[in-house]
Chains A and B, each alone.
Chain A
Amino acid sequence: MDRFYVLLMGFLSVVLVNNFVFTKFLGTCPYLGVSGRIDSAFGMGLAVTFVTALSGTLTWLVDFYILTPLGLEVTRYICYIVIIAGAVQLVEMYVRKFFPSLYDAFGIFLPLISTNCVILGVCLFINIWGTNNLLEVVVLSAGVGIGFTVAICIMAGIREELALADVPKSFKDAPITLITAGILTLAFMGFAGMIK
């Protein structure tokens, strides 16, 4: 029960309190670029969640069982990148073969997200947090993906309304989106302190 509690708190922490988009600014590019419509934002979020969970776990395993015992920490970043690119490719091939309808839904986003900073960010932060338990790593990396999905969907919802608003010409698109995002982070600051 105690362990379950720790996992739940960790999960809530990365989804709400330490949301990667709002507190660490990771994944800002797709956040500003793709979040024009809710359904495409949701597709992107799902794809990212899938890949973060997979690559976060894989990189942790490689780090813990191969790189650290062999003293090869210097090659860490290169290994991470290769693993992420491989995972994205694998997921893309698998989904195309076995779930063609799902592939149609978020297929276009898959190749794009290998250079999404959220993915590499998860791998790096798991390393920085010093997590040393496989279950925790899986829960945290999936949680980061879900936090990203939450953020990008909220933003897409606001932007669908913003499209109708009368914004000064020079503040259209990116500037107003950034300011909206700023106000949104204020709202999410309400969660700060809820969990350490």
Chain B
Amino acid sequence: MANDSDNKAGLYRRALLTGLWRENPTFRLLIGMCPPLAVTTAVKPALTMGISVIFVLVCSNLVTSLMRNLLKSHLRIIMFTLNIATFVTICDLFLRAYAPRMSEILGAYVPLIIVNCIIIFRAEVCASKSGPIVSILDGIGTGSGFTIALCILAGIREVLATGCFFDIRVMPNSFVPWLAMRMPVGAFVTLGLLLGLANVMTMKKES
């Protein structure tokens, strides 16, 4: 992100857009792979998870960016993690208070955002080197890319496993639900196929 161009608008736009596809954490960088597999049995929990990650990512990027001149390199990682853990705690308590059912479904995966590589990765690569505005935009962009990936995966799995999308029935009544899609095997295979598809699309674009 260390770009010498004084074209601020371009810099902001790039910060916002890179995470959406070119550096999409799930499809292109393959980091933070636990939640895409674990919480995507339906779209609602996936969306909740995605929004939680956006919140944590934006807050932690902002704080990291503000304290970037105070960071000591050997204590860097633990500073990032403590900072992230604080925001994850806020997010977890908020969900428990206002969306208790969602919080129950997501269970341990909300606190597990702390060790999600995406957030530390963005703190290390972007927020500890650039100003607060770029960091916030980067958080929104990367977080949205992650959320979109989660929702695509969850959409496919929910439709095939239950015949519903967002709890609304979309498949004809004669459709027999694929139970396997609910199970871990559905998560792994769907994500594998989607990654293959993403690779095909990238190759087409390049050639």
State whether these chains interact.
yes
- Contact between chains at A120 and B31 (CB < 8 Å): no
Is A99 an interface position by the 8 A CB rule? Answer: no
B83 (CB) vs chain A CBs: closest residue: A78
Interface-side segment among B9-17, B43-51, B64-72, B108-116: B108-116
Interface-centre pick from A119, A179, A189 (highest chain B CB count, 10 A): A179
- Which B residues, 121 to 177, have Cβ-Cβ distances below 8 Å to chain A? none
Question: What is the distance, in angstroms, from B110's C-beta to the closest C-beta of chain A?
Answer: 10
Question: What is the distance, in angstroms, from A159's C-beta to the closest C-beta of chain B?
Answer: 14
Question: What is the distance, in angstroms, from A179's C-beta to the closest C-beta of chain B?
Answer: 4
Is A100 an interface position by the 8 A CB rule? Answer: no
- Contact between chains at A29 and B193 (CB < 8 Å): no
- Contact between chains at B111 and A120 (CB < 8 Å): yes
- Which A residues, 135 to 175, have Cβ-Cβ distances below 8 Å to chain B? 168-171, 174-175
Contact of B192 among A117, A119, A178, A189 (CB under 8 A): A178
Is B195 an interface position by the 8 A CB rule? Answer: yes
- Which B residues, 56 to 115, have Cβ-Cβ distances below 8 Å to chain A? 77-78, 81-82, 85-86, 88-89, 92-93, 107-108, 111-112, 114-115
B201 (CB) vs chain A CBs: closest residue: A170
Interface-centre pick from B30, B88, B117 (highest chain A CB count, 10 A): B30
Given contacts A74-B93, A77-B85, A128-B108, are A182 and B189 in contact (CB under 8 A)?
A: yes
Contact of A189 among B38, B183, B193, B199 (CB under 8 A): B183
How many chain B residues sit at the interface, stated as a range, is 35 or more
A78 (CB) vs chain B CBs: closest residue: B85
Which residues on the A side are within 8 Å of B107 (C-beta)? 128
Complex CA–CA separation, A185 to B30 (angstroms) = 20
In the complex, given contacts A74-B89, A114-B77, what are 8 additional A-B residue pairs having Cβ atoms less than 8 angstroms apart? A82-B82, A85-B78, A117-B116, A121-B112, A170-B199, A170-B200, A179-B192, A183-B189
Chain A residues with CB under 8 Å of chain B are: 22-29, 32, 74-78, 81-82, 85, 114-117, 119-121, 124-125, 128, 168-171, 174-179, 181-183, 185-186, 189
Closest 5 CB pairs of A and B: A182-B188, A178-B192, A170-B199, A179-B192, A182-B189
Chain B residues with CB under 8 Å of chain A are: 30-34, 37-38, 77-78, 81-82, 85-86, 88-89, 92-93, 107-108, 111-112, 114-117, 120, 183-189, 191-193, 195-197, 199-200, 203
